[in-house]
Each structure stands twice: as C-alpha cells, then as structure tokens.
A and B are shown apart, each in its own frame.
Chain A
Amino acid sequence: MNTDDQAVAKASRIDGAAVHLDWPDAAEAAREATFRRLHSLVREKDPMPADVLVSARSSFGMRSIDDEPAALVYDSIIDDDLLSSVRSGGRTVRQLTFEARDLVLEVEVSGAGHLVGQVVPPQATVVELRHRGGTTPVATDELGCFHVPAMPDGPVSFRCRPTRSAAHSVATSWITL
C-alpha cells in the first residue's frame, strides 16, 4: 500500500458515515441529500433566462389558425442511419419532407444555411418563410422550385399559398434547421 492509499484508508476508518452508507436506508438518505443539493445548485447555476419565457409567451401570436398543417414526415438527420450518410460521401446537406393532404414540400439545407426547395405538385406560387423576424416571401418557378440563399437563425416554418388548387394555405410545423 503506497502513501496515498494509506491516507485514504485512514480517512475511511475515521469517517464513520462512510461505513454506515453500506446500509440501504443510509444510502437512500445520501441519495436524497445529493438530489436536494443538486436542486438548489440547478436553481443557482442554470436558471431559465427571462427571455426564454418571453419568447415562449410570444409563440401564441405566431399561430396560423386557418392553415392546413403540413407535418414533417422525413428528416435525413434523424431518419437516415449513419452508414448511409457515409456512403453518400459525408455530405452535409439535410433533406426534409413536409406533407399536407394535397401538397408536399421538399427542402434541402446545406451546412452553410443555403436552402433549396420544391413544392409538389409543381406550380408557380409563393412560399412564405416564417421566422423570428417576420415573414419573407419567396417565389417558386413553374417547376415549384425555390431558393433561399441565407436562412435566418432560429425556428422556421414554410407557408404556401397554392395558386391553383386548395382553398386553405398550408403551413409546415416549426423546425430549427
């Protein structure tokens, strides 16, 4: 036993609480004491910033009550396994598909924040990019393709007003890209 080990052994013999911790009740009490200390530490060191609360409250005003929701049905970052991204050369393009009843929206976003998308069925229309700063209209070509050179920070949602078919606009769920 080296000097360090002897010191530790001596400390353990002196520390009666260490021996008692072998009893289930004492172990349980120690755990709950740890949990209580952690609870006060979390309050002190990781409080929720006030602007997080303000931002959550303001979400209410962003509702789009009359829009038909388009659900996120595919996100390569979750749905692709790691092997497939290796096979495709480790590209950093993220692909997402949103689906509504009569409309599909495909988007691809690069690591640099460059986004291309397509509305299916193809049509010349306007896609509204909703974000923290407001709404940015983006026109599609006759094939339904559109392009956003620099995506805004924070969560976004795409809202589409089909010019030919549906009565309602379609809005995708909010997502951080």
Chain B
Amino acid sequence: MDPNFLEFEQPIADLEVKIEELKRVSTESDLDLSVEIDRLTQKSEKLTKDIFSSLSAWQVTQLARHPKRPYTLDYIKGVFSDFRELHGDRMSADDHAIVGGLAKMGNQGVVIIGHQKGRDTKEKVYRNFGMPKPEGYRKSQRLMKMAERFRLPIITFIDTPGAYPGVDAEERGQSEAIAKSIYLMTGLKVPIISIVIGEGGSGGALAIGVCDRLLMLSYATYSVISPEGCASILWKSADKAPEAAEAMKVTSKQLMEFELIDRIIEEPLGGAHRDPGATIRTTRQAIQEELERLLKLDEKSLLMQREEKIGKMGRFVEA
C-alpha cells in the first residue's frame, strides 16, 4: 500500500499505479500511449473529486493528520520573510513542540507562534509529536507579550493532537500554563489571527488559538477532545473514533455552519499534501487579507470586537 494514500483513497492509488506503469512503458518503447494515459488521468481526477466531495468526518481527520501535510515551519517559510526563531521560556526549557519568532509579511513585522510536528521518527520524538509542555505555552506567552509591547500583530498556526499528558508536564503546571495563555490572549492589545492547519486538539490548541479571526484549512479538524478519547469515554471503545468524529462535528465545514470559525482556506484537490506550494500560497493570500482588515481597526474597537466574538460563543436557552 502506498503510504501517500490513505485507505479511502486506494481506488485513486490503484489508478495512479496504472498511469505510472503506462508512462514507463511508453518511454521505454516507441508505443504512443498518450490517449490512454490522458483517459486514465481524467478518470483519476474525477474519482478524486467524487471521493473528496463527500468525505466523512473521520476521513477528514485522517487527512488532517496526514504525515505529508505542510507543517508550521513550511508555512512560515512560504508565507513570511526574515523569520528568526526565538527560543525558550526564560524559566526552565525550550519546548520544540511550539516554535515562535519574529518575521515580516511585506513590510509589516509580525510575531509567529505555532505547533510543530516532526516527519521522521527522530524528528517526531524531538517535536514530542507536536504536544507542548508548560514551557511551550510559557514561551508563547513571552512572545505574545513582546508582540504587544512592539505593537506587532500575532499569527498562530494550530496543529497539535493536544497538550502533553505526562508526569513532568503536570508537575510544572500544564493547566496553569494553558489557562494563562488563554487569559492573556483574551486581552492582548494587538490583532491575532489563528489558522488551524491540521489537528486542532483541545485546550492544547486553544492555548494559542484565542483570536480576532479564526481560519481553518478545509481538511483540518478542531475538537474539544480527540475522536479516540471521546470514543473511549462515551462509547467505551477507541475503535468507535469514526462515530465520535462524526458526532462532535470536527470539520471546517461543520464548524463554519455553527459560526465557530470565520473562514475556510480551500485546499487543492486531494488535500494540502498533494500540492503544498498551492496550499501555502492560498494561505498567504488569506492571512494578508485578514491582516489588512484588522490593522485598520483602532485598539479599542479591536478589543471590543474580540470580546463580543468570544462572548457570543455558546448556545443555550433562557427558559
């Protein structure tokens, strides 16, 4: 099985194998197979469109976790210039699951913060699978306060399964670190744009995700608990994760319907990993538009709008 293709994409993978085979034959011999290749390529594209037009929440979850998907540092490289990474919480450590630093978008200085996952095993371990510890959130708070001091907008990239559930993280105050981050962001006097690029995992995601504009890649997910975690608690079995993903309505489309996010960034056909360059260009365009709009607001209206946005999140009745 081709690791580039997810299980539900296997029919596409099979076609792609055939196309590759025909291409190989046609270059190795003098046979002109271009008509046949074109036909199969069109068929593959149509099949992809069909499959992707009706993805289940669980299939989207798998796409959001796709190992070939662009990560925060890929976006930083493609969207901004002059990025300089800044390290450490000035207290105990530098968390590699959260990266941050200064950069420019055109002439505008910005502060960037994002979860970072790793690709190969070694890098995955180094990045702790994108699961931050308290020092990561404290680094993020430090950079946000600096952004406020120098009046720089903040752009955050969300891509984490969740904050790290470990003994050391608890000892150093994981709850406090997340709580303080959320608290800080509710009152920061500079514009904040957050983009969910992959997995938006619970409090660990929200800790860098309280913002003025919440954007989401079309095949990203955002949820209060992982589908596996939800399934093991409510269905008593992690195998029911697909049902849990569906029930929690974790996709960008579903969250847009509930007005919990502000904008969807469309991914190329087949997902961001099929064309990272195009994905990053679309994302850049979206960030630029949002940033221009937010920079026009004075501090008071910015904070008022944020407070209103946060305040109206929730559904209830007054009986």
Please determine whether chains A and B interact with each other in the same assembly. no
